Every structure is written in structure tokens, then in C-alpha cells.
A and B are shown apart, each in its own frame.
Chain A
Amino acid sequence: MVRLEPRRQHSQAMVYLSPVLAILMTLVVGGIIFAFMGKNPFDALYTFFILPINNSYGISELFVKATPLVIIAVGLAMGFRANVWNIGAEGQLTMGAIFGGGLALYFHDSESVLLLPAMFVLGALGGAFWGAIPALLRTRFNANEILTSLMLTYVATLFLSFLVHGPWRNPEGFNFPESRPFPDAGLLPIIFEGSRVHLGTAVAVFVVIAGWLLLSKSVIGFQLRVVGKAPQAARHVGFRQKRMVWFTLLLGGALAGLAGLFEVSGPIGQLQPSISPGYGFTAIIVAFLGRLHPVGILFGGLIMALTYLGGELAQITLGLPNAVTGLFQGILLFFLLASDVLTKYRIRFGSIAAKGRTA
């Protein structure tokens, strides 16, 4: 018989091992699914996870995809640490793209070096604004931020769709639902020649370091952790939960907005109806995969970026549907949450005589 036995102290080793375990389990289950679909599981896994990064271009693409994931996930992790469940990063990303991108469209003739920094600011503000709505609803009316932030995502994407179909449509664009291309002054500089790796990737690394400092070295990061781990202790010492709700939703929104702006002023270069393959949602998985720790998130972001690349390649070379990407991401989150049980419990094999029925 197999049973779970509580550990006396949380296992630090398992905190780090459980993502590895989850990834292994995902590979096994993924292989089985490929086999059922009539593909050779080893070929398929190779195509999915190795082929995308066996050349330098592939690796640079990995950074491009990981950039928004990491930036958003660091912001979300702050909230998750404080039990603020912002599920609407996708919407905040979209609003950031609209605000920052809108500025680029308004100054579409500009050659000013100030345009790009101004777009950064506006992008962050747009995301923060979209995060402020659930914060207000939560602190004033006690509305659950999981629902409000999620629903606002759809508002944001439809708003973007309305803009690019209507008022912001490119007048020279043959009626395609797209905006004008951004002026050069509104495009992110490329860091590595010949790739698409842009300034945003450097910002992502900076965000990781700043996030780590904030979380583990600052008083406000300390407050976040106390509010999340022991709300009553937080109240006892006067760390106000409402302040943390505001802080994390504004910060998470701003970072998601910034990530959205980086997408439209980097790889995309204009506003389109769809600017993200679900980065805002995938970042939730990245945050947990990285143990809500900024440095862990850096690795988690790279792994999840790989599923995007692998999914695209599997579509092209194996003829698998794009849904396979989502499937892998889902399985990974599932196993991650499941294997987390092992940080608090250990598995024991063998039976015990007449295990008591619980009262």
C-alpha cells in the first residue's frame, strides 16, 4: 500500500525537485499521447523539445518568446505571494499594447528618441490601469479579483479588436484589420544582429533581478510575504492587506502592460487583433513553475517558451494541431501542482496493520 505521511518540516529539496519531476511526468504522458495519435513518441518529443533549439536562431527565438513570459510572471508572482490572484495578465498586456502602441500611432511621423521611452511609460500605465480596476473592486466591494481580472481580459481583447477594425485601422492597409506599422523611433532596438532578440529581453533580466531584490530584501516584499503566509499576523503588525492588493495588481498590471508593449513594438511592429498567443495565461504556469521566485521564473519562462516553439514546429513537421501546445502546458501545470504535495508529505510504501477509519 502507498500512503502519504506528513513531513515535520517542508522539504527544501522537494521545492526544487518537484518542477523537475513534473517536467519528466509531462514528457512521459506527452509521449503516450503522441503514441495514441499514431506518431513515434520519441520522434515527436524530439521535434517538440530538442529540434527547436538545436541552432542559434532557435535559441534566439526562445529568448524572444520567454521575454514576455518572464516579465509577466515576475509581476504575477508578487501577487500570488500575497494571495492576490490576478488571472487577467492577458488583458493587462493588451491594454499596455493599446496605450503604448496608440502613442506610436499618434506620432507615426516622429523620429524622436523620446518616443520609445514614452511608449514604455504609457504601456506600463495602461497595464496598471487595467490592474487597478480589479484592485478597486476588490478593496471597495470585496469582489473576487480572479473573476474580475479574467473578465476584463475579454473586454481588453475586444477593445483592441474594435480599434484595429475601426478607428485605428491602417488607412493604407487595404482594409486589413491592422494598424499602421510603428515608426522606426517606436520600434525596439535589436540586441543581437540577425535575430529578433530585442531590448525587452534585457529588460526581462533586469525585472528578474529587481523582482528578486524587492521580494527578498525590501520591507514591502517582506510585507507581501507575510500577508500571503499569515494574514492574521499581517493584521497584527499593521501590514494592510488592501495596500498589498493595490500594490500587486498595479505592479503586475504594469509589468504585463510593458510586456504587451514589447510585443507590439518588437516582434510585431504594429497593432493587430491578436498580439499574444496567451502569454498572460501561460505566465501563470511560469510563475508556479519558477516557485514564485524571480530566478526560478527565468528558467520556467524558458521552458514554457520551448513549448510554444515546439508546438509550432510540431504543426509544421508532424502535422499536429496547435492545440498540442496548450495540452502540454496544461499537463505540466497539472503535474506541477500534484508533485507539490511532496514538499509537505513523503510517500511511504508498505502497509500498516488495520489503518483506522477516520472519525
Chain B
Amino acid sequence: MKVLVAVKRVIDYNVNVRVKPDNTGVATANVKMSMNPFDEIAVEEAIRLKEAGTATEVVVVSMGEKKCQETIRTALAMGADRGILVETDDELEPLAVAKILKGIVEKESPDMVFLGKQAIDGDNAQTGQMLAALLDWPQGTFASKVELADGGVNVKREVDGGLQTLKLSLPAIVTSDLRLNEPRYASLPNIMKAKKKPLETVTPADFGVDTAARVKVLKVEEPAKRQAGIKVETVSELVDKLKFEAKVV
């Protein structure tokens, strides 16, 4: 089976994000960028399917400016076979991303598409579900375990009350949660090899997708800052404060 994985280039999760003084967004100049951590987990899962002999090819897609090539190369160094960059300088909303991915799916005909459950920049958590809807495929979101069985796929999902397992028919969409696996680090030889793997560049227009924004960002602000309070010396002082100052117990 063929597996498609969608990856996003985002501000590295260790970076302390700063709002721009003009309130138009967050500062991205000279900031370390990385693959969205949930997408790394999605790539790892696809590669494991290949190593297990289940998947025959792992294709990685990313969208955005030319530098997204780096993100694709990271996935190729982890073990994916080839990459597709949908190059655009436009800010793509999840619905537009899903529409472009639909076009790629129709061209590539994968049996499964893996995505991260959310990107840590916009925190939208929409793209996988939207792609599933547009393709009329079933979805297994927030996956913590994926098992192919009886011609379908069983997806264990992290839900509010605990865990839930769904049986999906194929083809299907799976979005990865944190505990699906621990992604590998690419070795130096594999990073070198990845440079020779095929990487094709296309544009949103190739799929006839209108990428005009539906949602306008009016402003981006710092959240209300919480002030550090006081240090108490003893547990009894703490309980005293909670009872008589904060009045919460």
C-alpha cells in the first residue's frame, strides 16, 4: 500500500514565541523552524509501516514557501521515499490545505493519509478531518495506536474519557497524537541520502484550488500576563493563605 504524509514547517516548539510590536502576528524572522512535532510522529508511523512490509511507498507533502523543502528533506532523511512541495507564499488556511491535499490524493491514490492531529502554530486541529470529509473517507483522529487488520485499519484514539478504538475501512485518514510513537532522529548517512531522493514542486493552481483567505486576522496580541505571586515557607502558611486570603478552600 501507498501512504501519504502531510507535514508542516512551524516555529520550533522550544522557541519562546513573541508577538510582533505592530500586532500583525508573531515574529518569525531569524526564528528556528522545524517540522510540526505531531507531523514527525505521523512520518514515523508511515515509515514503520514500510519497515513492517505493509507500506510500499511513503510520499511526503508540505506546503508553503520554498524553505519547506527542508522539512520534506527531514522526512526523507527519516526514511520517506519522495517528496512533493506545494510552493506558495500565500498563508494557507486548513480548508485550502485540505483541498490541495485532495488533489494530490486523487493523483497519487494512497491507501492511507497520515497527518499530525494539529499544528502547534495555529492550533487549529482541522486539516485531517477536512480532508477526510472532502474525500468521503473515514477518519481516525488523535491516534495512539494504528493496526491494520481484516482489510481495514483499527485506530485507538485518545478521547476525553480515556481511549476508544475505531475500525475504519480503507482508504482512511489518520491523525497522530503524542503517544502514537517516538519519532527517530535521522542519521547523518540518511541525511546525505535524503538529498538525492526525488522532490517535486507544484503549485496550488495545479489543483485549481482558490487559496484566498476566508478568515482575516485583525490583530494578534500578548495574552494577559500572570504575575508571579509569593513564596510561602510552610504548608500551614499555605493553607492559611488559601483559607483566609484567596478564600478558595
Question: Do A and B interact?
Answer: no
Measured CB to CB, the residues of A under 8 A from B are none
Measured CB to CB, the residues of B under 8 A from A are none
